[in-house]
Chains A and B, each alone.
Chain A
Amino acid sequence: MFRTLLIVTLLSFDAFALWRGLHPHVSDTYRDYYIAHTIDLPTFLAREKADLAKNPAVPTSH
């Protein structure tokens, strides 16, 4: 009984983490370079630096 409860709890936790992983909360620049691979590294760096210059207090990858 304890083992079944443990397995169910852990699998629920795993499912929650998987759901979080599948729904990233990132900037467009991050998504385009790291996830979709639609921009190259120089474009990523240029856009990140531009974003950072606009709002230096906020990390641009978020």
Chain B
Amino acid sequence: MNTSPSEQIVRRNRFDAMKKLFGRARRLADSGTHGFVLVILMVCGLQFLLSALFALPWGGLVSANCRWDCAWYEQIMRSGYSALPHFDPDQAGKADWAFFPLYPLFARQLALLLPFGFLTTGLLLNLALWPLLIFLCHRELELRGITINRLTFALFFALFPLNIWYTAQYSEAIYGVALMAAIIALRENRVPLAAVCVFLLSLSRPTGFILTLCLAGWRMTASQDPTASSRKRLSDGLLLIAAGGAALSLFTLYLYGLTGDGFAFAHVQIAWKRHLRFFPLVILYGLLTPALLGFTLSAVLAIVVIVRMWKQSWRLPAILVGTTALLALSSGVVSIERYIFANPLTIQFLACTSLAKPVSTYRKLFLDLVILRIIAINLWYAPTFVLM
């Protein structure tokens, strides 16, 4: 298509203005921690505006983002855990015991201090944690000696299509922050701080304690501190297991008092038709069931990404994401795209591999991300059975 010389000049000017803007943002991000934090906040602000724009037809951000499990979190925020399961036909047999307490109870306490409702407070909490998580993910890469441009890294995280749960009323943000903070604390040899982080991690999601076991094993076998004796490493590992176990124990004893079953959080999964099976059979069943095909393809893609992580020497992330995938796929394929592709370690890995390509490919990459993100937002707001 031919364009007139005046149009060409306008386009050229726009391109130069964008280039100048990105140059300034890049310099600000590279100027130090404060500059980087400012850039992350600006990028998250843009992401927030994009989400808010598409949320307008759905009654605004708060109600548009409250989909699927959000109703369970809201119930816990509003009235605590219930002693009995649901008997109504839609939710028969299901109960809120499956949802770990850190996110809903933290949001509930915040709601008592802030002049907003439970759902708004839950959303605000996640909107505050999301920039912190991006910062922690970049910090963790720095500790591993991986250099990546700060601005493009923040942009990748903000535009990544499957980050929608970080700006919804879900426990992903608090879980992600606890996980990355625990890894950073261990890399910096701050084991007591890591113990606090794994306590929070185990209190936020069912996989938290299993990941704590992985982190403890990593600490005991591949310590960051070469001068640490084997006895010290064993002590560090045991402290992590004891701290993570204490969080799980608190919830277990609470549920025992409430329902008579300390492991009700696991037993109630049967109401969602989730029970332990050999995971290749779960994938095979998913491939043969049209309604589960989307989730199953996500599961296959997840396995490919985990293998690539391992091959590229991302050993600890591969173990942590692989364990999460194994646990999730041993009971079903539904929501696997959230468990794996919304995991901060996966986004971090995908950012590093995508941004390692020549700078000339970035324009197409970010354009693709914007389009996919808009599709993801709308699939979430609709809501559909594609993203859960």
Which A positions have Cβ atoms within 8 angstroms of B?
3-4, 6-7, 10-11, 13-14, 16-18, 20-22, 24-26, 30, 33-35, 37, 41, 44-45, 48-49, 59-62
Contacts and interface: CB of A to CB of B under 8 A. Distances in A.
Which 7 interchain pairs have the tightest Cβ spacing?
A17-B249, A21-B262, A10-B242, A14-B245, A34-B267, A24-B261, A25-B260
A51 to B, nearest CB: 11
Contacts of A49: 87
Contact of B84 (A20, A21, A61): A61
Contacts of B248: 14, 17
Given A4-B235, A11-B238, A21 B256 contact: yes
A30 to B, nearest CB: 7
Given A11-B241, A41-B92, 9 more contacts: A17-B250, A17-B262, A20-B262, A21-B252, A25-B256, A25-B260, A34-B270, A45-B87, A62-B83
Nearest to B243: A10
A17 B253 contact: yes
B185 interface: no
B246 A10 contact: yes
B270 A59 contact: no
A59 B84 contact: yes
Contacts of A44: 93
A20 B235 contact: no
21 contacts: A3-B239, A10-B245, A11-B241, A13-B245, A14-B246, A17-B248, A17-B250, A20-B256, A30-B260, A34-B264, A34-B267, A35-B261, A37-B270, A44-B93, A45-B93, A59-B84, A60-B84, A61-B85, A61-B259, A61-B260, A62-B260
A41 B271 contact: yes
A61 B268 CA distance: 12
Contacts, number: 92
Contacts of A48: 87
A50 B256 CA distance: 24
Contacts of B92: 41, 45
A24 B239 contact: no
A25 B259 CA distance: 8
B39 to A, nearest CB: 40
Contact of A7 (B235, B260, B264): B235
A4 B238 CA distance: 9
A25 B238 CA distance: 30
A41 B93 CA distance: 7
Interface in B56-105: 83-85, 87, 92-93
A17 B275 CA distance: 23
A59 B235 CA distance: 44
A11 B262 contact: no
Contact of B260 (A11, A14, A26, A37): A26
B261 A7 contact: no
A24 B262 CA distance: 7
Nearest to B89: A45
B366 interface: no
A3 B242 CA distance: 11
Contacts of B243: 10
Contacts of A35: 261, 267
Contacts of B264: 34
B263 interface: yes
A52 B92 CA distance: 15
Contact of B270 (A14, A18, A33): A33
A13 B235 contact: no
A16 B268 CA distance: 22
A45 B90 CA distance: 13
Contact of B252 (A20, A26, A62): A20
